[in-house]
Structure 1
Amino acid sequence: MLYLASKSPRRQELLNQIAEQFELVAADVNEIALADETPKQFVLRMAIEKAQAGLKNVVTINSNDWVLGSDTIVVNDDVILGKPKEFNDCQQMLSALSDKKHQVMTAIALMNNDTVLSEVVITDVMFRAIDEDEIQRYWQSGEPQDKAGSYGIQGLAGKFVKRIEGSYSSVVGLPLFETEQLLLSAKARSKNLTNKGAK
Structure 2
Amino acid sequence: MHAAPDFIYLASQSPRRSQLLEQLGVRHALLLPDDEEDSEALEVVLRNEAPKTYVQRVTALKLQAAQQRLVRRNLQPAPILCADTTVAMGQTIFGKPEHAEDAKRMLRALSNRPHRVLTAIAIGMGDQYAAACSESWVTFAELNEADIEAFVASGEPMGKAGAYAVQGRAAAHIAHMSGSYSGIMGLPLYETAQALRSLGFRL
Q: TM-score, normalised by structure 2?
A: 0.87
| Residue of structure 2 equivalent to 1:50 | 62
Q: What one-letter code is carried by the residue in structure 2 that aligns with 1:44?
A: Q
1:25 pairs with 2:38: no
Q: Which stretch shifts more, 11-20 or 91-100?
A: 11-20
The answer (yes or no) to whether the contact 2:119–2:133 under 8 Å persists in 1 is yes
- The count of aligned residue pairs is 187
Q: Which stretch shifts more, 176-185 or 26-35?
A: 26-35
Counting only pairs closer than 5 Å after superposition, residues 92-171 of structure 1 correspond to structure 2 as 92-171=105-184
| Residue of structure 2 equivalent to 1:40 | 52
Q: In 2, distance between residues paired with 1:33 and 1:82?
A: 9
| Residue of structure 2 equivalent to 1:88 | 101
1:15 pairs with 2:21: yes
> Identical aligned pairs, as a percentage?
38
**1:72-100 per-position Cα deviation (integer Å, ceiling 9, x unaligned):** 00001211111112221111111111111
Q: In 2, distance between residues paired with 1:139 and 1:4?
A: 29
Q: What one-letter code is carried by the residue in structure 2 that aligns with 1:137?
A: A
Cα displacement (A) at 1:53: 1.2
| Residue of structure 1 equivalent to 2:83 | 70
CA RMSD of superposed structures (Å): 1.5
User: Tell me, what secondary structure is at the counterpart of 1:107?
Assistant: strand
Q: TM-score, normalised by structure 1?
A: 0.89
Q: What one-letter code is carried by the residue in structure 1 that aligns with 2:88?
A: V
Cα displacement (A) at 1:47: 1.1
Cα displacement (A) at 1:37: 2.3
Q: What one-letter code is carried by the residue in structure 2 that aligns with 1:41?
A: T
User: Tell me, what secondary structure is at the counterpart of 2:158?
Assistant: helix
Cα displacement (A) at 1:146: 1.3
Q: What one-letter code is carried by the residue in structure 2 that aligns with 1:185?
A: S
| Residue of structure 1 equivalent to 2:3 | none
Q: Which stretch shifts more, 2-11 or 34-43?
A: 34-43
Q: In 1, distance between residues paired with 2:92 and 2:180?
A: 21
- Runs (4+) of structure 1 exceeding 6 A deviation are none
Cα distance, 1:19–1:152 mapped onto 2, change above 3 Å: same
Q: Give 5+ residue unaligned stretches, structure 1.
A: 191-199
Q: In 1, distance between residues paired with 2:197 and 2:42?
A: 30
User: Tell me, what secondary structure is at the counterpart of 1:130?
Assistant: coil
Q: Which stretch shifts more, 79-88 or 121-130?
A: 79-88
**1:53-75 per-position Cα deviation (integer Å, ceiling 9, x unaligned):** 1111112454xx21001000000
The answer (yes or no) to whether the contact 2:67–2:80 under 8 Å persists in 1 is yes
Q: In 2, distance between residues paired with 1:18 and 1:48?
A: 23
